[in-house]
Each structure stands twice: as structure tokens, then as C-alpha cells.
Structure 1
Amino acid sequence: MPNAASNPTAVREVMDIRQAADYLGISGDTLYRYASENFVPAFKLGNRWRFRKSLLDDWMDRQSGVTSAAPIEMVDPAKKKPVRAVR
């Protein structure tokens, strides 16, 4: 199984500030400020900020107004209406 060291572009579940900034497409300084102001979901491990990818994804969805899609409803083929042929 390849590890993250052999693939530096791999996105990890727990990221440091540089990795998370790259993932979000913002500068490390901006992300540091956001984390310090509790604007983004982050936690400190020792004196270093860490970011969980899943929490960042949820946060981005909330910030952008994206809601989870409604489940797809399956239709019984016997209840489908016939489609007219195109001439």
C-alpha cells in the first residue's frame, strides 16, 4: 500500500496547516487566522493546528449553501407511463 510520503499530493484525513491551506486553495497565513478565530473547524495538537478533511468538507458545504441531495426514489417499472416514439 503506498504511503503519503511517496505521494505528496495525496489528501490525508488529518492535515497540517500547509496541507489544509493547499486543499482549500488559500494561503497558510489566512488559514492560520481563520483557525485562530474559530472560523474553520480545527484543533490543536500540541501547539500546531490540525484539520480533519471531513470536517473541512462539511464546513465548505455549509458555507456554500450546498445541501445533501434527496435520496433517489425508485419507480416500479410497471407503474411507468409509456414514452411516445419520436418521429
Structure 2
Amino acid sequence: MPEEIMTLKEVAEYLKLAEKTAYRLAAEGKIPGFKVGGSWRFKKEAIASWIDRQTGSRWA
């Protein structure tokens, strides 16, 4: 199964954040992401792992 890649808008919705907040967190390196042609992209599994580290538990 291929890894799911999310856009900034999708990760903001997933984390229930404003897009501006998600952008700032990504730009500051506080959430795991990478840029493709100037646009932020996020691996869903990396975000889920980040949540686990923040909460100490598994959400899925």
C-alpha cells in the first residue's frame, strides 16, 4: 500500500488547525513535512507518528 501524501490544507484539516498555523509549524520544523516545488507536503504516517510522540499514545 503506497504512503499517503497530504497537502497543507489536508494536514491542517487532519490536525484541526488553521492552514496558516499548519504552515507556520511546518516552516518552523515543528511538524514533519517537505517541500515539492515550493509547496508543503506531508506523509500521513509521519504526522501520525508525530502525534504519538506528542501524546504518548496511538490515535488510530
Name the larger-Rg structure: 1
1:26 aligns with 2:17: yes
| Cα distance in 2 for residues equivalent to 1:26 and 1:55 | 17
Of structures 1 and 2, the one with the larger relative CO (CA 8 A, separation 6+) is: 2
Q: TM-score, normalised by structure 1?
A: 0.61
1:40 aligns with 2:31: yes
| Bigger strand fraction | 2
- Percent identical pairs in the alignment equals 41
Unaligned runs of 5+ in 1: 1-11, 68-87
Indicate the SS of the match to 1:40. Answer: coil
| Cα distance in 2 for residues equivalent to 1:43 and 1:53 | 12
Unaligned runs of 5+ in 2: none
RMSD: 1.4
Deviations 1:4-62 (A, max 9, x none): xxxxxxxx810110011001111100000000000000000010000110000000000
| Bigger helix fraction | 2
How many aligned positions are there? 56
Q: TM-score, normalised by structure 2?
A: 0.87
Find runs of 4+ consecutive structure 1 residues off by over 3 angstroms: none
